[in-house]
Structure 1
Amino acid sequence: MTSEADRSELPKAYEPREVEPRWYAFWLEHGVFRASTDPADTRPVYVVAMPPPNVTGSLHMGHALGGTIQDVLVRHKRMQGRNVLWQPGIDHAGIATQTVVERQLRREGKTRHDLGRERFVERVWQWKEQSGGRIAQQMRVLGCSADWERSKFTMDPDLSRAVREAFVRLYEEGLIYRATRLINWCTECRTALSDLEVENETANGELYEFAYLVAGADASQGATELVVATTRPETMLGDTAVAVHPDDPRYKHLHGKTLRHPFVDREIPVITDPELVDMAFGTGAVKVTPAHDFSDFATGKRHKLREINILNLDGTLNAEAGPFQGMTVQEARRAVKRALEEKGLARGSKPHTLELPRCQRCNTVIEPMISTQWFVKMEPLARPALEAVRDGRTRIVPEEWVKTYEHWLTNIQDWCVSRQLWWGHQIPAYHCESCGEIHVSREAPQSCDECGSDRLRQDPDVLDTWFSSGLWPFSTLGWPDRTPELARFYPTSDMETGYDILFFWVARMMMMGLKFMGDVPFRRVLLHGLVVDETGDKMSKVKGNTIDPLDLIHGADFEAVVQKALPTAPIAEALAAFKKAYPSTAQMGKGFAPYGADALRFTLCSYSPQAKRIALSPGRIEGFRKFCNKIYNAIRFALPYVTNDASVTGEAPTGELSLLVNRWILSRLGAAVEASTRGIDNYRLDEGSSALYHFFWDELCDWYIEMAKLVFQSGSESERTELRRTLAHVLEASLRALHPYMPFITEELWKRRPPPAPPPTPAAPAPYRTATQARNTP
């Protein structure tokens, strides 16, 4: 890129498909995104840790929003002279990745058990090397200026070492323990799940009523039965009590009585529990199944009830279910209802709306199940994380989420961290097969400390993905070693992410950072909302209203778009659903034009990031593509005037300006730059981008450039010279101000600026103009 080529006449039209990949390669080649670890570099640091996307993932609108916001922040700080680290990486995504590879194996007629654990894990690594990390490449298309040379993978050896170290330290302090508890169980994935991996679906079901007969009851002495209501009749096979409210007069005569189970040989007690029972719901009597319901589990602990697990790991019923053994849950539900009717115990049903928990990965209905798992004690970790927000060491923006954060951390439950998977960080616990002792250690022990046996096997479970993610702000910097990077770049300045993982990820990073580093992991938490369709509905494959961000950047016809959004539906049906979700597409012909990354980025910035729902409008993207053209054409107009005068440098003109229009535009430029800076600093990119948009379009193009044309035509030489210098400065400062939002077009036009700063100096690290510098005021 020579000076002559850079200042040649601009093509008539701006073509983002030609410009964007060229400039991204240029930035990488010149190390523009690279953070400095040189001890002699005394610049203040600014650090953002990229939320690591799943290795299985592809770019979606949520990623595009978060990536754009973070990129605006880091580009802005880079231009302010900070030593910027935007730490990228990829998450191993335990269950998601294992599911993908198992799906491949099924197409080959195999299961992971056919391969065995070692060969299966090798197969996952092969898949990761061939197909994983696609999303990181897609984020480059968006313009994300992360320090890619420092990219980390949560299964890298150094991060795996950090995970083992954290687990062992927590165990040694008594904060990790092994216990038998009730957990979310997916019968398809065959693993425990965190609450985040469970999605609740509102469904239409029924509230089914049946009777338990009172043991030893005499009809002449009163009621001989107790009627209960349930949405899951099959779980009555694991009932170990029926609870009533102690103040309910209907059942006072049954306090202390027992009930006969109709299908298995046991009697169950009638207990009183004001915490579990709502007298106004159902019959006011609640069947208690401690092994298959979270509320019942807690009730069982209060009353020391027996916990009877009636399910196998595959979701079929086990021997505890008596005559229903071997049935699936749905088969058993129908069979139990039939059997109750045959025994004369059915008491009818009525429609009932319920929340149905489903596995996020496979959509299977989750079964609460008793299981032996590893847990982290959360209260001792949550307390410091709560105080760090309350005393201002970490600020949450917007502040409305502070109450949610406080509620979660003050009502926290111990965290089940073990998963019955093969892909992930295997728990560093070793079971002695001779004496049963469990050894937790950083490295595999050679023999049992208790009995001396060498018959040790590692715990087969792996850790919840969120465990390693919780270490992200410092494990990526070399912890547990005290590295120079850790000293320089911890804590993170800003953590920008979606509000939906405030508890599942942000809170856990807070706990882990305070525990292992003695300091908060970030100074600010910036939370953005959920990207929804133009009518406000959540994007989903079921509704057919998803949009691939790359289709907006590169262009795509609507048939191709909807084949991704609703692949199983007929094209006409999918198109109708899509256009209903995005009314502005009615004016777009057959598809999306290649809007380019800048138009998409500026659109995403134009929405308030703090809004809970961000309704994406393709029409707005098309509008900001026109804004790109406006910027391009303004520079095309100015180039002949500002590049043929050696006195024009792009710096602010000095001395008193004679033309009112020049003084006016400098004042408006200063106000726009000030508003943009304030918007970025206050996490209101919508306000910052809006200020620059209205300045450039309404004030610079519609007024100033039109006035400039008159001066160039009929003004004096001194007026034309003054105007050339002012115009060059205003355009140059505008490109700098716009660069964090629209990096590609501004870089393309920046290279055309007048001397003294010739290419290949890029715009990306160029100093950001302050409002005072833009106005040319002392």
Structure 2
Amino acid sequence: MIEKYDPTQIETKWYQNWEKNGYFKAGATGNTDSDETYCIMIPPPNVTGTLHMGHAFQDTIMDTLIRYHRMQGKNTLWQPGTDHAGIATQMVVERQLNAQGSSRVELGREAFVDQVWQWKEQSGNTITNQLRRMGASPDWSRQRFTMDDGMSAAVMKVFVDLHEEGLIYRGQRLVNWDPTLNTALSDLEVESVEENGFMWHFNYPVADDNGDASDVFLTIATTRPETLLGDTAVAVNPDDDRFKHLIGQQVLLPICNRLIPIVGDQHADPEKGTGCVKITPAHDFNDYQVGQRHDLPLLNVLNFDATINKNAPEAYQGLPRYDARKAVVAEMDRLGLLVETKPHTLMVPRGDRSGDVIEPMLTNQWYVDAKTLAKPAIEAVDNGDIKFVPDNWKNTYYAWMNDIQDWCISRQLWWGHRIPAWYDEQDNIYVGMDEADARARHNLTDEVKLRQDNDVLDTWFSSALWPFATLDWPENSKELQTYYPTNVLVTGFDIIFFWVARMIMMGMKFMDNIPFKEVYIHGLVRDSNGQKMSKSKGNVLDPIDLIDGISLEALLQKRTQGLMQDQPKKIEQIKQATMAEFPEGIKPYGCDAMRFTFASLASTGRDINFDMGRVEGYRNFCNKIFNASRFVFMNTEDHVAGEFNLENASTVEKWIVSRLQNCIIEYRRHMDRYRLDLASQAIYDFFWNEYCDWFLELSKPLLKTEQKAQVQGTLLYVLDQALRLLHPIMPYVTEEIWQEVKAKFQLKPDSIMISSFPIVNKSLIDDQAEAEIKWIKTLTLAVRQIRGEMNIPPSKKLTVLLSQASEQDQSFMQSNLPLLKTMARLEALSLIQNDQEEPPAATALMGEMKILIPLAGLIDKTEESKRINKQIDKINQEIKRAEGKLNNEKFVNKAPDHLVAAEKAKLESNQVALQELNEQLEKLDKL
């Protein structure tokens, strides 16, 4: 064992040892045929990605659970893998090509896809290597990629099977369209951003009987004037007395000079805007629904690059959408139909990759009949087969599933699973696993020319199969039989709709069984101020930087990298905030401290504010564990290993072993309920407060007695059990120390990670020993507190008297007199009988018993009086200042509430301190 705790000396060493010895592999505990299995599927990170704080938090939770169950002897599998991340990956490679003066179009599809594969081979292991740095222990031998052969075959089979059942079809619908990437996007890939814009009010003339413009107008309001070109109706509310008489009539659409109907629809809210709504079914999702209800034509006026197409008047054809917007507004103004233009704040949908404004676009896409698949998936949660933790998240699941829309699964990309559909020259569709299979299924000869669909499948389609496709489905493999359904899915609430629900749908459909028994929903990791971490805010933390440390200069460069150089103000703000928070950069804390921080914050379902102070504190905890262990080893060098028992043990040993049993109960209860925060607190409190602060101190005098060998055994036994409890959260420091314990106890497992997890032994719970040691601790702390209050040096041995002691108090005192003298540094400890007069003394109460420390001869009365009076004067000044502030109405009424509350708290604290100092003066006067 190394002499001083240094995570850099132990982390790489032990991880390589674990991986080399195959401890991460499924069934590493030797119980591959055990009926008790435990399996977690990793939410596959993007192959383009690097580890961020959300990953680190999530993976700490999963690894802790896996290590915890692995140590219980279960046949355990943590299935790793990565996602091909269609859009993200294609964009990365396209940017590289653009930098080289080339493009994917120039390369062609086949060469471009080859280029992406090459890039994946070079850079695709970045995040898995970072996961190794986090101490993650998945079965790397089973690593999967959503585009590998086995996964791809599963994806093709699911598509073909669903299509044959009529659950996948091709249709024309509105989708989120990214004009930069030229592809449909899922809702998850669209970010709504609040921006400043304008609201234009236009007059549409109601048509007379001849179809000409009358002098009656309907005023509509829009933030997208260019969509006027695609209007096919105006809607009013059928209950709106202002307009309901016009329902069934027509308006003459300005600029286009088309007659469009006035329809009655609840979508038009009389309380909002003008009460009249222009309806553009091909360019607005709400308008599309109105169009479906009233059988309105779908008039698409945009090309895929967001220029105006040939369905609009000739003057606007070919114009980019925002140029067309200006032209439409100018023409409406010229016609006298522009009523007003108002500044308006609106939510603008932008593609999360390109940043471009998304257009609702009418396109031909492939869809899944989600309503049919959703029914058994809803029932699985309804009947309790799948449980959400916390339970309230099932309401979010239901809200989406009960109102689910058909799922657009096609993307206009080149990287991804290409849709297994082929078209003949008449555009008839043939679906199969490959072209040969498609021909065979439809009896097509080679003379029939076929072309494959150019689109690829939405990434969520393949990841929806993750729980069973990674276990070699459709082959009925041993792994599939053993580990499906899995035990728990650990994920964030933001993808309940997009991934969790779809995995349940696909699992119920193709496995006729749930994919997981529980869904543990964790919160998002935010910065210390509760702000979401993002590159644009410059508040991102890299978990590897917390492990290894990073200089201020490198941190500043990392946080401002990629920001536009024309944003100097923003860059300066980020730099100033970073220098204020990390004036010397981030020092190395090691993996264990960071993991313990995440565990301590992992309360179910709530977002967490990441506090660097906690990381510092848990780095100190690692050091405490290390130093305490060195103390144990130095004091057990001559210990002869044997079977541990408490047959001749002292009360102190019975107490610590009893406290250990209670810690095991508490720890396991919390872990089984996914309360890693409470489990980590339980072992922290036990190890630091009870084992280190008390048992190690209480053991020192006992090690000098004839009970030495017994006490040595207890020291090692409790250390061994505590290390095993700590291991799932803090794997490295516990392994380093446990190797020494293993040698002392001659234990069989080669690693703590495959040792057995502590099991409670209720026969070792000793309420009497716990009560007795609690009494000793309370008395010791009371004496120490009096020392502190009276400024008595720790080295000064005291005479202590006990008054009004019960029979139990007297018994505890007599049984533990030598121990009490050592712990409290006492010269003597004796009882005052009821008929004896109490001397002037500093006093503390312990139940009904009084603890007295006679002060005569202990302190210089004059000097102590001066010291106390000096403190009283200082506190009086603080009280006067605080009272002045709080009596000032301007301060109380105008200052922020938290500042007023802080001032009140200071005043109360100083008033309590003043009272205590005056009581000390009174005690001095009696001497």
CA contact (8 A) 1:374 1:416 kept: yes
Amino acid at match of 1:437: N
Structure 1, residues 56-89: CA drift from partner, whole Å, max 9, x if none? 0000000000100000000000100111100000
Residues 247-281 of structure 1 show CA distances to partners (whole Å, capped at 9, x for unaligned) of 1121133222211122224211111112x111111
**Inter-CA distance 265–572: structure 2 relative to 1 (3 Å threshold):** closer
Does the 8 A contact of 2:205 with 2:214 survive in 1? no
Q: In the aligned structure 2, how far is the partner of 1:774 from the partner of 1:319?
A: 85
Matched, 1:480 2:480: no
Determine the C-alpha separation between the residues in 2 that align with 1:352 and 1:30. Answer: 63
Task: Sort the Cα spacing of 1:40 and 1:385 in 2 relative to 1 into closer, same or farther, 3 A.
Answer: closer
1:354-411 CA-to-partner distances (Å, cap 9, x unmatched) read: 2211111111110000000000001111111111011011111011101111111001
CA contact (8 A) 1:562 1:575 kept: no
Alignment partners' CA distance in 1, 2:312 and 2:629 = 78
Relative distance call for 1:44 and 1:450 in structure 2 (3 A) is: closer
Shift, 1:223, TM fit: 5.0
Task: Tell me, yes or no, if structure 1 residue 285 matches structure 2 residue 255.
Answer: no
Which of 503, 507, 510 is equivalent to 2:501? 507
Read off the aligned partner of 1:512 and give its amino acid letter.
M
Decide which of 619, 624, 633 is 1:639's aligned counterpart.
Answer: 633
- For the pair 1:21 / 2:7, whether they are aligned, the reply is no
Distance 1:68 1:139 in 2: 10
CA distance in 1, matches of 2:126, 2:302: 39
Query: Quick one: which amino acid aligns to residue 142 of structure 1?
Result: M
**Do structure 1's residue 762 and structure 2's residue 751 form an aligned pair?**
yes
1:454-465 mapped onto 2 (5 Å cutoff) = 454-465=448-459
Q: Report if the CA contact (8 A) 1:535-1:582 is conserved.
A: no
Number of the residue aligned with 1:358: 350
Rounded to whole Å, the distance in 2 between the matches of 1:740 and 1:98 is: 38
Distance 1:461 1:218 in 2: 48
Matches within 5 A, 1:190-205: 190-205=182-197
Instruction: Name the CA distance, whole Å, in 2 between partners of 1:774 and 1:105.
Output: 70
2:557 is matched with 563
> What are the residue-to-residue correspondences of 1:320-719 with 2, within 5 Å?
320-322=311-313, 323-433=315-425, 435-445=426-436, 447=439, 449=442, 452=445, 453-567=447-561, 568=563, 577=574, 580=577, 585=581, 589-647=583-641, 649=642, 652-657=644-649, 659-712=650-703, 715-718=704-707
Q: TM-score, normalised by structure 2?
A: 0.79
Deviates more, 1:35-44 or 1:368-377: 35-44
- Do the aligned partners of 1:190 and 1:313 also contact (CA within 8 Å) in 2? yes
Task: Tell me the equivalent position of 2:711.
Answer: 723
Distance 2:433 2:631 in 1: 66
5+ residue gaps, structure 2, are 768-927
- Distance in 1, matches of 2:570 and 2:450, equals 59
The CA distance in 2 between the partners of 1:198 and 1:17, in whole Å, is: 41
Per the TM alignment, residue 130 of structure 1 is displaced from its structure 2 partner at its CA by 0.5
Matched residues in 2 for 1:128 and 1:774: separation?
Answer: 57
> Post-superposition shift, 1:321?
2.4
Counterpart secondary structure, 2:473: coil
Distance 1:757 1:81 in 2: 20
- Which of 261, 264, 269 does residue 269 from structure 1 map onto? 261
Q: Partners of 1:602 and 1:535 in 2: how far apart?
A: 20
Select the residue among 105, 112, 118 that pairs with 2:110.
118
| 2-structure distance, mates of 1:515, 1:197 | 26
Following the alignment from structure 2 to structure 1, what is the Cα–Cα distance between the partners of residues 252 and 213? 18
Cα separation, 2, equivalents of 1:582 and 1:637: 39
Q: Is the 8 A contact 2:205 2:213 kept in 1?
A: no
Task: Please state how far the C-alpha of 1:352 moved relative to its aligned partner.
Answer: 2.6
**What secondary structure sits across from 1:717 in the alignment?**
coil
In structure 1, the residue matched to 2:235 is 243
Deviation readout 1:203-249 (Å, 9 max, x if unpaired): 22222100111223799998521110011111111000000011112
Structure 1 residue runs of 5 or longer lacking an equivalent are: 1-5
Range with bigger deviation, 479-488 or 603-612: 603-612
**Distance in 1 of aligned mates of 2:72 and 2:467:** 23
2:639 partner SS: coil
The change in CA–CA distance for 1:537 and 1:20 in structure 2 (over 3 A counts) is same
Shift of residue 742 of structure 1? 0.1
Q: Distance in 2 between matches of 1:31 and 1:112?
A: 42
Larger Rg belongs to: 2
Distance of 1:721 and 1:70 partners within structure 2: 40
> What is the TM-score with the length of structure 1 in the denominator?
0.94
Q: Which amino acid aligns with 1:145?
A: S
Q: Which amino acid aligns with 1:766?
A: S
Counterpart Cα distance in 1 of 2:280 and 2:496? 32
Choose the corresponding residue for 2:302, options 299, 311, 318.
311
Structure 1 residues 662 and 654: CA distance shift in structure 2, 3 A: closer
Equivalent residue number for residue 732 of structure 1: 720
Match of 1:179 among 167, 171, 175: 171
1:592 Cα offset (Å): 1.3
**Residue pair 2:205, 2:215 contacting (<8 A) in 1 also:** no
Structure-2 change in CA distance of 1:773 and 1:503 (3 Å): same
Give the secondary structure class of the aligned counterpart of 2:658.
Answer: helix
Q: Which amino acid aligns with 2:20?
A: E
Paired residues in the alignment total 758
Moved more, 618-627 or 440-449: 440-449
How far is 1:325 from its partner? 1.4
Q: Is the 8 A contact 2:654 2:766 kept in 1?
A: no
* TM-superposed deviation, 1:775: 4.3
Are the structure 2 counterparts of residues 744 and 207 from structure 1 closer, same or farther at C-alpha, using a change threshold of 3 Å? same
Conserved? CA contact 1:563–1:571, under 8 Å: no
Could you tell me which residue of structure 2 aligns to residue 146 of structure 1?
138
Contact 1:218 1:224 in 2 (8 A): no
Query: How far apart, CA to CA, are the structure 2 residues paired with 1:581 and 1:593?
Result: 14
Residue aligned with 2:635, SS: helix
Q: Which residue of 2 aligns with 1:35?
A: 26
Greater Cα offset, 209-218 or 754-763: 754-763
Distance change in 2, residues 1:250/1:582 (3 Å):
farther
The within-5 A match list for 1:73-88 is 73-88=65-80
Residue 202 of structure 2 aligns to a residue whose secondary structure is strand
Of 200, 204, 207, the residue aligned with 1:215 is: 207
2: CA distance between counterparts of 1:562 and 1:575? 10
Work out the CA distance in 2 between the residues paired with 1:143 and 1:484: 28
1:451 & 1:752 partners in 2: Cα distance? 72
Q: How far apart in 2 are the matches of 1:293 and 1:55?
A: 34
Match of 2:312, SS?
helix
Aligned partners of 1:562 and 1:574 also within 8 Å: no
Q: Do the aligned partners of residues 54 and 124 (structure 1) sit closer, same or farther apart at CA in structure 2, a change above 3 Å counting?
A: same
CA contact (8 A) 1:669 1:775 kept: no
